[in-house]
Amino acid sequence: MTAGIPPACTSGPARLGLLGGFSLRAGARPLPTPPAGQRLLAYLAVQHDPVSRAKAAHTLWPDTDDTRAAACLRSALWRLPLTVPCLVEHPAGALALTAGVQVDTHELERQAAALASPDPIDPPELPAPRALCHDLLPDWSDDWLLAHREWLRQLRLRTLERLCVRHREAGALDAALEAAMAAVACEPLRESAHRLVVTVHLADGNVSEALRQYELYRLLLRDELGLTPTPTFRRLLAHVLGRPVDTGDTSR
């Protein structure tokens, strides 16, 4: 063991997974983490910036008084190094994840920013659609997590749609369709995702598939919300049919 370095730090970088559920690894080795420690690490990960001890304690233990919440935080921090060294630092009395911890949500944010920029991206650096299909800690119901979960859901959907556009513009229609269908699976009532599926089918010359996708969405929207597709969506198919697409059966 390297002198002065805790055992887990020699096993590779610590990786914190929050998408689809909590996981923590050092290299390839899973690291058992007590529930209080899981919540502390997840909370620090979604905050990005250092958080005061008082704020962390009040947020994570909202149903206790300040003294008890502070004691719970101290306990969580004390137990954390027993299984997961090198994860939390204490800048100026605050708390933060150490810079070397790899977090899947942070990687998603970097990928989203890259796709939102006009700069070219090498194909190997593009995210896989399946990696963008998991909610943030879906089994947790903590109040502090709800806004972060919704923000990240919207980011994932936008990223899938931008990924589809990148692939379509590069002529990689199979990859474009995979990204668009992943966006539909994540949010079946999202019209922009269905429109992208239609544009990929049209780019591939599959007019019948494009009409079928529109009709599937039209029926879903009618049955779930009592609404009809927007004029923007209908105009996508107007030139194919040689007439405006109405809100009824496209086969007529």
Q: What is the pLDDT of residue 3?
A: 34
The DSSP H or E segment spanning 145 is: helix 143-169
Distances (CA, A) of 135 to 24, 79, 160, 228: 17, 28, 14, 28
Rounded Cα distance between 93 and 245, Å, is 62
Rounded Cα distance between 230 and 209, Å, is 19
Expressed as residue numbers, the domain containing 70 is 7-100
Q: What is the pLDDT of residue 86?
A: 73
Looking at the fold, whether 150 and 30 belong to one and the same domain comes out as no
Mean pLDDT of the chain: 89
Q: What is the pLDDT of residue 239?
A: 81
192-237: per-residue pLDDT in tens?
999 999 999 999 999 999 999 999 999 999 999 999 999 999 999 8
- CATH at 232: 1.25.40
How many structural domains are present in the chain? 2
- CATH at 18: 1.10.10.10
Position 147 pLDDT exceeds 90: yes
Among 43, 72, 100, give the residue marking a domain's end.
100
| pTM summary value | 0.86
Looking at the fold, whether 111 and 232 belong to one and the same domain comes out as yes
Mean pLDDT of 171-183: 97
